Structure 1
């Protein structure tokens, strides 16, 4: 299939085009956004600033060796063909190391055909409607995923942490990777929905 990969997480945004028909994307995200567009920079935190790809999220997929597992998951889920969604969307993209932190065998199970629905829900749980730069992510802010789940932002200075529905936390280690139809933040942990799928 395509070249080896990628901002696979960029493709996660595109999956919204297929998921949004059956799952309600939450409009409150857009109203919660601030007007500022300044990029976040870091000093002592480990979060690195991103850059602009100048391409949509699908084409931007040809860059990162740190997200190959995510890209593989997107291919297995059958979502790569819908990777040019209009957006804007925000994707919290787990690195390879994030997937490797899951219990042994979890990734292999998720990549099996029988787990396709679960995999699609998991990937969509990392996608939020609207464009949120690192600067716009504020302490205590609640973000609605396209599956209807909730992610909570914690912030201390330039360090931004995302808490999932199960209470686990993910650090943003690279922020503000800009595509023409959204923004990607690389994270060090796979975000998990609650048992109800949200």
Structure 2
């Protein structure tokens, strides 16, 4: 994502707008008057679903960090400007709406649901562009770090789908997915900060 402050502000604004839409649909659902065109997953959920979602996301972050250390690629971290933290938190809303909200095939049986979650998770992982670079023109980057990061992104996406469609979330609320995604991204920021890859 672009680290231009204006673009980050715009992205955060989009996330706030979408979040406000969800909040309105959620309140209508709680009041017993759900909107016919409500945003997907704008439903109530119990506290355990949030806890399960966040703990799973942080566990995967721990696996990624440990994997980087074990493979000796921790020093291949990319730098992040400090105010980018706002964009990665906003991504917890925007990316969840796109993938766990709209990019899923629901109500056509469990097998189709699972297959769509796997397929869209693969897309989610690949579009994060660890396998290529455009800094000095286009070039492929099939490195150990790229495979690890893409694999973790794939696992993260599967986990976020599980958080939405798992038995602990009977109303299929998207809110625990948003929190888990934001917690994962914040965790990445903290790891980069501790390792000295956040630029102030």
Same fold (TM over 0.5): no
Shorter chain as denominator, the TM-score bin is 0.3 to 0.5
Where relative contact order (Cα < 8 A, 6+ residues apart) is larger, the structure is 2
| Greater helix fraction, Structure 1 or Structure 2 | 2
Larger Rg, first or second structure (1 or 2)? 2
Give TM-score scaled by structure 2 length: 0.32
| Greater strand fraction, Structure 1 or Structure 2 | 1
